[in-house]
Amino acid sequence: MILLLTRILSKIALAIAVGLLAGCQGGVLDPKGQVGIEEKQLIIIATLLMLLVVIPVIFMTLYFAWKYREGRDEAYEPKWSHSTKIEVVVWTVPIIIVLILGVITWKTTHSLDPYKPLKSDKDHITVEVVSMNWKWLFIYPEQGIATVNQLVFPTDVPVSFRISSEGTMNSFFIPQLGSQIYSMAGMVTKLHLIANEPGTYKGISANYSGPGFTGMKFNAIATPTEADFDAWVEGVKAGTHGDVINHAMLDQASYDKLAEYDADPHHVHVATPVQYYNSIKPGIFHDNVMKFMKDHGKVELLKGTPFDSTMIKGSMDHSDMDHGSMNHSEMSHESPEHVEEDK
């Protein structure tokens, strides 16, 4: 009977596993990048370790319910209270599992730190990301272009994302490439990803942000080669991509226009179409991050360094807490370790 019950449970578990994994295409369990692959391995290892406790508990629950069912002559002792052997097993096994999970968590917390640049023989491409109501703006400061609701980068080249928000907090997430991280107004968070296979991957906001939230989707396109990416950039600058809306420069006026949205709760929000800007105003990302700061216009944000000392002195003359006196690592929620890594 026990053997039969074990076989039945095995078949049920297999059927459930097949059913769950059948819908994994395109999600976190179908990774296409280094970070996503390592996170999938972490999920599987953690799940298997926890199943070492879950499966025996489920089995024993069913077995004892069958063994002591009404009508059998099994000896049942409801007042039984202690067994040293059982106590050793039920405490030792979970402790060992928790210790193993603790070590794994400690190591992966550092190795999968989203702020940590990826090891690669190629330089990172920088993309500045702004979540708006309800669209994504991607600024390429090195290429001098910007896009809306479409992200393009070459395969096997790491991408350094600097992420902020124009208003409501969102969460930037490309499930097949790895980690998600929040976007918040007046702050800069960081994320490093890479695609090891060319293709088009779905990007979303993983944090509800209002009535147009369902339209906050974008395609993350990994081009087969760096030459293909360069050709795409040239096409954006020349305005030759006929399947999208092409604009001129992304300056403060066009940025403000793009950020506009209908706040009417009865308004039916339609997903924003893909748009390209063939040039950008230098520093527009940091200008719009800093506009939420108290001393915007008086403090200059210097990439990777503290604020200019003379400006700090002027800001510190205020009697109250001065946001402008914070260094770049504090504004960006970056630790000194991360700042040093970027240098």
DSSP string, 4-38: HHHHHHHHHHHHHHHHHHTT-TTSTTS--SHHHHH
- Spatial CB neighbours of 17, under 8 Å, sequence gap ≥ 6: none
Mean pLDDT of the chain: 83
Phi, psi of 61 (to 5 degrees): -60, -45
pLDDT digit string (tens) for 235-255?
999 999 988 999 999 999 999
What is the structure's pLDDT at 15? 60
pLDDT digit string (tens) for 281-296?
999 999 999 988 865 5
Least confident of 169-178, 230-239, 261-270, 282-291: 261-270
pLDDT digit string (tens) for 18-73?
555 555 566 889 999 999 999 999 999 999 998 988 998 999 999 988 888 877 77
Cis peptide before 134 (omega within 30 of 0): yes
pLDDT band at 334 (very low <50, low <70, confident <90, very high): very low
Nearest to 153 by CA among 115, 111, 116, 118: 118
The domain segmentation of the chain, as residue ranges, is: 2-70+85-111, 125-259+270-292, 297-343
pLDDT at 203 > cutoff 70: yes
For the domain covering 125-259+270-292, report its CATH number: 2.60.40.420
Nearest to 195 by CA among 149, 241, 155: 155
